[in-house]
Structure 1
Amino acid sequence: MSSSEDLIVRTAARWIDRGSRLDTGALAAEVGVSRTTLFRRVGNREDLMGDALWLMSDRTIASVTHRWDKANGPAVRDPAGMLRCLWVMREYRAAIAGNKGMRVLLEEEPTVALRVLTDPHGRVQPRVIAQHVDLFARDVADGGFTPRVDLDTLAFAVVRLGEGFLYADVLADRTPDLEAATTLLGALVDTDRGL
């Protein structure tokens, strides 16, 4: 990604994070390019939204992982016995659910937001799945986790189930229940502990 593309995506992520509607014309003016140039560099509005949401997701996972490493070092389980990957995923979902800008986006543009967030060929979900594969692989490599299925399949299942709970209010007119998500994902991932 070029520096101008990076600036556009970072600016879009800031807009979403603060709860502002992603207006490509106004955003182009803010970063000092024409709307045509913006489209040439980052694609259409949904492409830009996807890259911005991915950047927000990536930063959130990095922040949460850093918190784990600072508190627990290289340990694969916390003092209560929770796998590092499950702890990171729980904290990640909580951060996403608590993000004001994400809530505004889901309330004001639910169809677009869900399409961008959950498109299997889009700019968010495939990257989130790959990121989850990396989380699982780290726990496998450090000797604390032996999955029952391949990591790609497990990551796909975990991300899709997590989305179902995280976006339950939009997908199924249900209140998001992150505690239930943590319990179910724990049972799915850490089968030896019977969570």
Structure 2
Amino acid sequence: MNAHPSEIVRMAARLVNQGARLDMSALAAELGISRTTLFRRVGNREDLLGEALWLLSDKTMRAADKRWHAMHGDAVRDPDDGLRCLWIMAWYREAIAGHQGMRMLLDEEPVAAIRVLTDPAGRVQPRVIQSYVDLLDRDVDAGGFVPVVDVKTLAYAIVRLGETFLYSDVLASRSPDLAAVGTLIGRLVDRGL
């Protein structure tokens, strides 16, 4: 089999999605290639894990965006004055928090999972930040709100704050509190702290 890197990433994402451990030797054997070839195509285990987690994250973000559109079309605010980007981000966090595969990864490999998910030079966090920049920019352009700081700084703050609460069980031995982080982010984005 001549597996393309994108196919390998999809296979790794399926494994993570199922809550299975990403074993590079087993994956190489399943693909019918050597570990060396696997590493040459997709990098080391953390590189592949990062790409797989990003693929799942991007899919989740797109689903949240589609959910908004199905409920409110192109509106920037819902009937209760809730801002589109805030709802999409909240649904994204909720889906990530409830994702069985993600929870298993965090439970079984907390150090590797946090490193891959929150590395500022990694494959997940910078892309999530960019997704948030895009969401915020879209709402600013539509006249939905005026941010208190530039959008890139705001997106960075939202992602870091979200990570702190979303992964608080691993980072600080506290239960994740999505309601609290939603309130804080809402104040930060839409009303200013």
Instruction: Give CA deviations for 1:92-142 in whole Å, capped at 9, x if unaligned.
Output: 000000000000000000000000000001111111101100010110111
Give 3-state SS (helix, strand or coil) of 2:39's partner: helix
2:170 counterpart residue number:
170
Give 3-state SS (helix, strand or coil) of 1:62's partner: helix
Unaligned runs of at least 5 residues, structure 1 = none
Q: Distance in 2 between matches of 1:145 and 1:6?
A: 37
2:119 counterpart residue number:
119
1:54-133 paired onto structure 2 within 5 Å: 54-133=54-133
Q: Distance in 1 between matches of 2:66 and 2:29?
A: 35
Give 3-state SS (helix, strand or coil) of 1:174's partner: coil
Q: Distance in 1 between matches of 2:124 and 2:93?
A: 15
2:26 counterpart residue number:
26
Counterpart amino acid of residue 38 in structure 1: L
Equivalent residue pairs, number: 192
Counterpart amino acid of residue 138 in structure 1: R
Q: TM-score of the superposition, structure 1-length normalised?
A: 0.95
Q: Distance in 2 between matches of 1:30 and 1:185?
A: 43
Q: Distance in 2 between matches of 1:34 and 1:97?
A: 35
Give 3-state SS (helix, strand or coil) of 1:190's partner: helix
- For the pair 1:46 / 2:46, whether they are aligned, the reply is yes
1:6 counterpart residue number:
6
Counterpart amino acid of residue 106 in structure 1: L
C-alpha RMSD over aligned residues: 1.4
1:124-143 paired onto structure 2 within 5 Å: 124-143=124-143
Unaligned runs of at least 5 residues, structure 2 = none
Structure 1 runs (4+) greater than 3 angstroms displaced:
none
Counterpart amino acid of residue 151 in structure 2: L
Q: Distance in 2 between matches of 1:78 and 1:34?
A: 52
- For the pair 1:147 / 2:155, whether they are aligned, the reply is no
The answer to whether the Cα contact below 8 Å between 1:7 and 1:31 also exists between their aligned partners in 2 is no
Q: Which stretch shows the higher mean deviation, 31-40 or 92-101?
A: 31-40
Q: TM-score of the superposition, structure 2-length normalised?
A: 0.96
1:33 CA displacement: 2.3
Counterpart amino acid of residue 72 in structure 2: N
